[in-house]
Amino acid sequence: MYARSTTIQAQPTSIDDGVTHVRDVVMPALEGIDGCVGLSLLVDRESGRCIVTTAWESEEAMRAAAERVRPLRERAAEMFGGTTEVEEWDIAVLHRDHRSHEGACVRAIWVKVEPDQADRAIDIYKVAALPMMEDLEGFCSASLLVDRATGRAVSSETFDSLEALDRNREKAAADRLIGIQEAGAEVLEVCEFELALAHLRVPELA
């Protein structure tokens, strides 16, 4: 399965309007496009950084829908009052302990490995990193999106609440160091977000 992420650098004062637009306009439109299996929206109200991720049954479905999705993306960017950056990914891993609820938060970690080491890094994520994540307070789910051509990847860990995210931050950082060293990866960025919308219907991929 595949994903397309659109990062919007929004005006903080326009975030609520943007979230409403994605929920009420973009999501219903995507539901009518063959091969789309849902959408999620991450929001950082302090920085204005918002990430809309759409999931697709196949790379072919994602590419076939590109022209229909483009005006939706452009209008969403207008509602957020920001600029966009688009990336496409292979959904390498998705594991749920339970569904998220209102108030859930996400810790996203962008990493990079040598492209020829991507499959090894995915295996380490499944075997070593996921069990450590499951032990963190408030764990809901985790996903790993990979760009095999560049070796870039992003792990998204969802937790029940901001309080749980705060309390597990130190342990998560220590655990992450172990996994990163084993995978031979470089951490590019770690960010925390509000999970504003969670409507991905991606099956278990772990």
- Tell whether the model's pLDDT for residue 116 goes beyond 90: yes
Model pLDDT, residue 201 = 83
Helix (H, G, I), strand (E, B) or coil at 90: strand
Region of 86 (left: φ > 0; alpha: ψ -120 to 50; beta: rest) is: beta
**Nearest residue to 149 (alpha-carbon basis) of 89, 93, 65:** 89
CA distances to 7, 8, 132, 179, 186 from 175, in Å? 27, 30, 7, 7, 15
**Nearest residue to 159 (alpha-carbon basis) of 91, 198, 101:** 101
pTM for this prediction: 0.94
Other C-beta atoms closer than 10 Å to the C-beta of 172 total 22
- Tell whether the model's pLDDT for residue 200 goes beyond 90: no
Average pLDDT over residues 119-136: 96
pLDDT over 90, % of the chain? 94
Predicted confidence (pLDDT) per residue in 80-107, tens digit: 999 999 999 999 999 999 999 999 999 9
- Tell whether the model's pLDDT for residue 206 goes beyond 80: no
| pLDDT classification of 30: cutoffs 50, 70, 90 | very high
- Tell whether the model's pLDDT for residue 71 goes beyond 90: yes
CA angle in degrees (0–180, nearest 5) for 45-47-49: 80
- Tell whether the model's pLDDT for residue 27 goes beyond 90: yes
